[in-house]
Every structure is written in C-alpha cells, then in structure tokens.
A and B are shown apart, each in its own frame.
Chain A
Amino acid sequence: MSNSALLNSSIAKKWWMALTGLFLCLFLVGHLLGNLQLIFIHGEEGKRAFNEYAYFMTHNPFIKVLSYVTYFSILFHAIDGLVLTFKNKKARPKNYAYNKPGTNSSLPSRYMAVLGTAILVFIVLHMASFWGKMHYTAMPLHTVNVENTEFYLTQTEGSYIPVVDFEQNDLGEAKFWIKDGTEFYTTRGEIKLGEGYKDLHSLVFAYFGHDKMEEANLPANKNALIAVIIYVVAMLVLAFHLWHGFASGFQTLGVNHSRYNSFIKGFGKFFAIVVPLAFAIIPIMIFMNK
C-alpha cells in the first residue's frame, strides 16, 4: 500500500511538487549569488571571478550531483505539475457558466500551471542561450594572452599554472594544444593539462548588449533589448509563481503552525519579490551600462 501511495496518491504527488519546488528555491538562491558577481565585481577581476565560478559550477563533483538533482527537479516539477493539472481539469469536466474565483483566492494561486509553463519555456530559452553554449559550442576562452602572462591554466586538481611556464618549441609554438578551445593538452595529446575558463562573462555581457568584440570576439546582441525584456518578464512570472508556491510548498509538506505561519508566508512573499527582482536587475544594469 505505502509504496504505491508514495507515487500515485494525490497527496504524494503534491509532496513531490513541494519538495522539488522548495529545492528549486534553494537553487535559485545559489544561482542568484553567482549572478550577482556580474554586477558587484567590476572589471577584469569580476570577469575572472565569474568565469572561475562558472568553471567551478561545471566541474565540482558535488555541484555536478547537485546540478543533476536540479535538472531532475525541474523536469519532475514540470511533469508532475502537468499530470496534476490534467487530473485537476478532469475533476471538473464542466465549468461554471459564471464564476468569481477572485473573491476567494489569489490570482497566482490559480494560475500556477500557466506560470510554471511560462517559466519552463524561459528555462529552455535561457539554457539554450547560456548553458547550451557553454556546454556544446566552442566558446571563446577567457584571455588567451600568452605574452603578458595573463593567461592561467587550471589543472584538474585546481592549482594554477601560468602558460608562460610551458616550454615553447623553436617556432615559438606552445608545446601543448587546445581542444574545443578550452582544453589544454600536451602536444602529443596524452595528458590533459588543464582547461581554460570559458568566457561566460563576456557571453552574458554580449547577450545583454555589451560590445565585447575586442576582447572576446563576441558581437553585442542586436536584440539585447528583447532579451532583457524577456528576462525581466520571466522574472515577473517567477515572482508570481513563488508568491504562491513558496508558502504552498510548506503547507503541502504539513508545515502549518499558528506560530510560524505568518513568518513562512511573509518570508515566502519576501523571497518571491527579492529573488526575481535581484535576478532582473542584473541584465537591466548590463544593458544600461553598455
């Protein structure tokens, strides 16, 4: 009984929604902290910090596991949500001819599925713009500038070796070669020496309108304004989704206590405003300061 109850019962389906949803809230916080480097650390240092961070996020094994949990959560949250929505639609085969749901419930709470779907679309778009490029395309590296020793390699263990320390052959060619633009191998290709930072920082700045052509060979996005608007709207949608979703997750998990309810609800609303707002400010600032 309890096994099937864990997957099939209406309440279990809701737990999964709540668990994945609240986990994704945590993810948002992590993601936001990373993103904030884009505007809070300036210049070359900011660039390095952000790219290092991006590197860390794609290589640390713990983060890797976490990222798979995140992908799973997003998918599960979306699919489970969809299943629930269809079930819920079926529970009322004929709608009221005249209905005034606004008198008894908040708008976001009634449109969670629509909001969620919009967020899902945004996630796909967002991942195609950044995550996909990062993972599947040849990205410009962050400063390959052999002369002035600005270029660092990271070995897989994580310590830094300046490029200039590598021997050069007679033609002045480096004794290593670069694969996919980011991975550094010995010339014979047996040993991976390290990886360069993919220059996600420049990618982001270019995407939101900065002209980074000189440094990273990335032309500014001609449709940057649209990109910013889409991003901001998506954050608005997210805000509405969180406005109901955050506290709702706790209720579903059974956390409802007169002493803590107002805190959970208050914090949920705070979270729903502050997190998306902070996310949205970043592209706006990038766009404004181009």
Chain B
Amino acid sequence: MSVLDAKIPEGPIKEKWTNHKNNINVVNPANKRLIDVIVVGTGLAGGSASASLAELGYNVKAFCFQDSPRRAHSIAAQGGINAAKNYQNDGDSVYRLFYDTVKGGDYRAREGNVYRLAEVSANIIDQCVAQGVPFAREYGGLLDNRSFGGVLVSRTFYAKGQTGQQLLLGAYSAMNRQIGKGKIQMYNRHEMLELVVVDGKARGIIARNLVTGSIERHSAHAVVIASGGYGNVFYLSTNAMGSNVTASWRIHKKGAYFANPCYTQIHPTCIPRSGDYQSKLTLMSESLRNDGRIWVPKNKADVEAIRNGSKSPVELSEEERDYYLERRYPAFGNLVPRDVASRAAKERCDAGYGVNETGEAVFLDFSSAIMRYGKEKANILGEADASKERIRELGEGVIESKYGNLFQMYEKITDDNPYKTPMKIYPAVHYTMGGIWVDYNLMTTIPGCYAAGEANFSDHGANRLGASALMQGLADGYFVLPYTIGDYLSDDIRTGPISTDTPEFEEAEKSVKDRLEAFINNKGTKSVDYFHKRLGRVMWDKVGMARNEQGLKEAIEEIRQIREEFHKDVFVPGEMNELNPELEKAARVADFLELGELFALDALHRTESCGGHFREESQTEEGEAKRDDNTFAYVAAWEWTGDPGKSNLHKEELTFNDIELKQRSYK
C-alpha cells in the first residue's frame, strides 16, 4: 500500500466534486478573520487564490519576486483558455473536455482531478467576463471561440494573442480590490527561500526582501505554493528569466513529494537560438501551424548552401523540399500535437538537416497559404486573371490580418521578413507538467502546505493540451483551493496567531542565511550563469526531447559534477543586504542543480515513452512514442532523502474507470 493517499472522493465521477464540497468542513466567517494564509507566487493560480481567500475572509499574505503581481509569467501565455461552454454548439461538454485532457495527457493524469477541472472550466469564463476581461467577441456581441491544439471542437476563449495577460490582469484586479481593503498584504520583490514546518504542519516561510536583502519570517496557518514551473532548469526556455523552482524545491526538501519531474513540454514553434549570448527563447503561437508548412531541404547540399547563405530557401523547388510532418503524419500533417511536432523537428536536425548556423532550425513556410488566400481573395474581388504578384500581395494582406503581430515580432527579433522568406523555428522548453505532488484537495504531503497551478503535477498528465494551463491555474485558485483549504483550516480556528519567535523559525532563518552567506563568501571564479548554461546544455542534450538510458546516466553524473563545481567555484559579487540579482540567481541555480538530477533520475526510471517524455528505447516501429500502461500507469512521487540521486520513489497508481486507455495516433 502506497503512503500516498490522493483522497479522491467516492462516487460517480460526475458527482465527486459536488459531494466533496458538500461534505468537507468549512470555517465560519468570524473565524476566518483569525486565520492567516501565505500564498507564494501571484500568477494565475496564486493571484486568483489570494483574491478568493481574502474575499472569503482569511488574512492573506501574498509574495512575488517581481516588482508587481501583474508581472508573473502567466502574463506571457498567448493562445487562449479552454472551457466546456459549448457556445458553438459543436458537441462540446464537460465530459469531452475531460476526455480530451486525459487523452492529450497520454493517460497519465488523475481522472478525478481532470473531471473537476472540466467541470469548473465554464465558471472561469463567467467569472472573468464579470471581472471585465475583454475576451474576443463576434459582431453579435457574444464571445468568440477558436479551435486549438488538435481537438475536435472550438472551446478556446481568447483575447487576441494575449489571453494570459488579460486573465492575469483580471486576477490581479481581484487582488487589488482585496489589497485596497487590507485583506491581502502584498509583498513585492520578496522571494520565499524556506518553508517553516512546526509540529509537522506548514506554519510559515522565510523570505528575503530583495531590495534591502533582509531575511524575514512570516507565519501563517497554511502555505500555498503557486510559483509556477521549472522549465528554466534548461537555462533556455520560454519561461521568464526569473522563473524558478526554489519555492517548490524548498518544500520538497521539507517533505513534499515531487511528482513526475521528467514530464516537460517542448513547444515546437519557437524562434531558434542565434548565439551563445542567448538568454531566452521566444514562443511563436501554435496557431501559426494552421497556415504554415514545416519543411527542411531534401538534400544536404542545399542545407549547406542555405546555411552559408549562398542559396535562399525560396529558390528551392517543391521537389527539393521535405515537408516531413506531412510525409510522416498525412492525417494531421502540420497540426500534430506539440510533442510529436517537436520530436520530428529534432529528428531532422539531428540527421543534419537543420537550416541555420547552429543546425537547429526548420522552416515554417507561409508561401502556400499566401498564394491560396491570395487566390481566394482575388476571386472575391472579381480579379479572375490577377497576376502572380497581385495574388501574392492579396495573400500577404490576409496573412497579415491573421498573424500580423506575430510576424512583426518575428521580424523585430530576427530581422527576417517572414512574408518573403520562410520563418525559422525550433522547439523549446515551454511548460512542465510535473511538479509538487498534491492530493485531490491540492495539499502536498506536508499538512497545511498546498500547491496550485503549474507548480503542482495534477491535471495534465504527461502532456498538456494547448490553452489548458490557464484553465488549470484559475480553476485551482478561484474554485478549488478556496473550498478545500477550509477543510484543513477548520481545525485551526483555536490556534491563534502563529509566533515567529520559535526554534523552528530560528533554525529555518539560519539555514537561509548560511546558504546565502556561503555564496557571497565563496569568492570563486565563475559566474552563476556559467553554471546555469552548462546545466542547461546537459539537460537539453540528454534529458530533452528524446532520452535514452545511457544519456540519462551520463546526465546524472554530469549534473552532479556541475553541482559540485558550482558550490566550489561560483562567484557572487555584491553583498547580502542589498539588491543583488546575482545572489538571487545563485540560490535559484543551486536548486535547479538538485532538481536537474532528480529530473534525470525520473526520466531514467520511466522506461516507457508518454506525452512529453520520450524514451528512445520505447518507440513503435515507425518511431512513435510507445506507452507501457501495465508498468507505468502511476504517478512517480519522489521523496527527498538528502541527495537528489537517492530520492525515494512512491507510486500513486492511476486507475481509469471512465476512460479507456488507447495508444495515441495521429497518422
């Protein structure tokens, strides 16, 4: 019997959440005033949780390392948010959203959680509209939808290419209302560096004021971690520069299990790396694949010529091009799911067909779409005998109206005009499905410590569908956590304020200070980034899109090596008691260096391929991912033992009562 109890309520899947809400304990309003809750992170999950908890009456202390809650990286999400509203009358339902999400996650998610997510999804849209989120609308004044990421219905609500921004600003506005009322105490430019556990319960955090450098103690009756994902373990990712695993890793080291760390989503359409100085990768919306065709040259000679600039890609005839997605997946073509598209690009580039100087880029070509739309437009305009140039011009206009802002962004970054020459794209790390293990109530294995949003592992399984991250973050924060946390806090109404003047706080504060002082006093020779880049290289090469046993074993060794060197030789300039970005980075990279090893270990132990985790040893004859449901239909939750490489594995078996397990196929 596993030590993990997911606490999934009994009963039919449709009634689980309702029954659960009816049966859990609640705290009466007068008592909520006596209870403090700390929320770390102010993205969609943290922001919405802070606002909702404060509305309920709890005293919330919210923390973010940015200078304002509004800057959390949820803001960068482009595409949209799914909800089972069925406004388009195309047969969408809670069940279908549930089904798509479990299938998209390659059957490695918990049914109960996903069903709840689908169930509350519709409320999110109602809620956001009431808050004044300006979703896209049709001329009739009703909300518009688009389809997304290979599902068969239109259920994605969006606000141009800035849906994440609009939703986050909605949550931020709800927070502002509570900050104005004094119900949320906001700690901007504060970073949580340790969890404080008293008598086995999470009772506070140690945070560093990033401006003054002072180490502060904050107590509460419960702690919510909503600090996002850990994609930056790869150094280069579409995550923000500051995105980090520290809050999650700190609670992991205090007893919270870390689940499925190896489930990483690699997004296929990002702007490729241009040099060693590269600090981050920029995502180009997945929607581009609706009209763009992905290809590389058929002949290596052409590849060479394109790389050294002696040939332009537009000079290549159709016969000289390899539209490899259309070739391999005739049914879905360029619209295969993210993981499939990413691996296919890597396969071509590894085979030597990458089209830029680094050999890590493929073309995303809009010329067919431009001509196709151009012809349509010409017909509409009655210009039946339009010249090729005229058709091209009309087509470019259509493309501009659809993707103008993306094309402009691409041109700003690369200085190439994507209307005239194909875009170069390459996959990049985008989202991490893995995270802190939580039960149905979103509580971690530490009582009183919760994890929400990307920081937890719960709803996406091994792969996340497009437009589902926003849904999950807001569902957790607005509609799940505010209920479930009351069940736990109902025991705390007589506890009274938690003192920070206890040995536990003392000890936690000291450990933080020691850790940071060690960096300052280290006086090594290499910068933090030097180590972070090395870690990223190992992760990308050996724990990236395709993994194998040998590579993973090497990666573990190399990461250990880098970690050792890091602690010996890192140089952190400046002082403790000042704004010191290098010190902040050092603390984060130290945690990444530990996580990286666990990540590789998890990838090594899971010898099947599933979703974002592709083991070269486990593929079909055609080179597609092959799951092993008999052995691996479980959540791998790792327990900290003092050494990431020796973490204890706990398994939470996944049972599927409402969905039949199938091998995904996009042929």
Whether A and B touch directly in their complex, counting CB atoms under 8 A apart, is answered as: no
Using CB atoms and an 8 Å cutoff, list the residues of chain B in contact with chain A. none
